[in-house]
Amino acid sequence: MISAVVRYEPRGAARELFRTRTSEVVMAGAAGTGKSLACLFRVHLAALRTPGIRCLIARKTGVSLGSTTLVTFEKKVAAEALRAGVISWFGGSAREAPGYRYSNGSVINVGGLDKPEKVLSSEYDLIFCDEATELTITDWETLGTRLRNGVLSWQQQIAACNPVHPTHWIKQRGDAGALRLLTSLHRDNPAYVNADGTLTTKGVDYMAKLDALTGVRRLRLRDGKWAAAEGLIYEAFDPAIHVVPRSVIQPGWTRRLVIDFGFTNPFCAQWWAEDPDGRLYMYREIYKTKTLVEDHARDILLQVTKVIGKVPQRTVLTAKDINEDVAAGLRVWTEARPQVVICDHDAEDRATLERHLGMGTRAAHKTVKDGLDAVQARFKVAGDGKPRIYLCEDALVDRDAALAEAKKPTCTVEEIVGYVWDAQPGKTPKEAPVKQDDHGMDTMRYAVAERDLVAQPRVRWL
Q: Whose CA is closest to 307, among 319, 286, 322? A: 322
pLDDT at position 393: 84
pLDDT at position 419: 93
Residues 87, 44 within the same domain: yes
76 belongs to a structural domain: yes
172 belongs to a structural domain: yes
Q: Which domain CATH number covers 315?
A: 3.30.420.280
**Alpha carbon distance 446, 341 (integer Å):** 11
Residues 51, 174 within the same domain: yes
175 belongs to a structural domain: yes
Single out the residue in 222, 247, 277 at which a domain terminates.
Answer: 222
Q: Which domain CATH number covers 183?
A: 3.40.50.300
In the DSSP assignment, the letter for residue 396 is B
Q: Whose CA is closest to 341, among 238, 253, 260, 402? A: 260
350 belongs to a structural domain: yes
462 belongs to a structural domain: no
Indicate the pLDDT class of residue 462, thresholds 50, 70 and 90: very low
Residues 369, 394 within the same domain: yes
228 belongs to a structural domain: no
Owning domain of residue 148: 12-222
**Alpha carbon distance 144, 139 (integer Å):** 9
Residues 214, 245 within the same domain: no
Q: Is 401 exposed, middle or buried (0-12, 13-18, 19+ CB in 10 A)?
A: exposed
Q: Which residues contact 195 (CB under 8 A, 6 or more apart)?
A: none
pLDDT at position 220: 93
In the DSSP assignment, the letter for residue 69 is I
Single out the residue in 196, 222, 248 at which a domain terminates.
Answer: 222
Residue-wise pLDDT tens digits, 361-380: 999 999 999 999 999 999 99
Q: DSSP for 229-265?
A: -TTBS-TT--HHHHEE-GGG--TTSEEEEEEE--SSS
Indicate the pLDDT class of residue 458, thresholds 50, 70 and 90: very low
pLDDT at position 4: 66
CB atoms inside a 10 Å sphere around CB 177: 8
Q: Which residues contact 125 (CB under 8 A, 6 or more apart)?
A: 46, 50, 53, 54, 55, 147, 149, 150, 151, 152, 155, 156
Residues 76, 125 within the same domain: yes
Alpha-carbon distances of 452 from 233, 254, 349, rounded to whole Å: 19, 14, 25
Q: DSSP for 128-163?
A: EESSGGGS-HHHHHHHHTTB----SSS-EEEEEE--
Give how far the C-alpha of residue 395 lies from the chain's centroid of Cα atoms, to the nearest Å: 8
Which strands form 24-29's sheet, in the order they lie side by side? Answer: 87-90, 99-102, 107-112, 54-59, 126-129, 156-161, 24-29, 180-184
Single out the residue in 222, 252, 269 at which a domain terminates.
Answer: 222
82 phi-psi bin (left φ>0, alpha ψ -120 to 50, beta other): alpha
Residue-wise pLDDT tens digits, 300-310: 999 999 999 99
6 belongs to a structural domain: no
pLDDT at position 2: 57
Residues 250, 209 within the same domain: no
Domain tally, the chain: 2
Residue-wise pLDDT tens digits, 159-207: 999 998 888 899 999 999 999 999 999 999 999 999 899 999 999 999 9
Residues 50, 196 within the same domain: yes
Q: Whose CA is closest to 419, among 406, 410, 429, 432? A: 432
Q: Is 459 exposed, middle or buried (0-12, 13-18, 19+ CB in 10 A)?
A: middle
Residues 142, 185 within the same domain: yes
231 belongs to a structural domain: no
Residues 73, 131 within the same domain: yes
For 11-33, what is the mean pLDDT?
96
Helical packing angle, 347-357 and 293-304, nearest 10°: 40
Residue-wise pLDDT tens digits, 398-454: 989 899 888 899 999 999 988 999 887 777 777 889 999 999 999 999 999 999 998
Indicate the pLDDT class of residue 459, thresholds 50, 70 and 90: very low
Residues 204, 88 within the same domain: yes
Q: Is the pLDDT of residue 456 over 70?
A: no
- The mean pLDDT value of the chain amounts to 92
Instruction: State the sign of the Cα–Cα–Cα–Cα dihedral 182, 173, 139, 153.
Output: positive
Residues 375, 316 within the same domain: yes
For 140-155, what is the mean pLDDT?
94
Residues 383, 266 within the same domain: yes
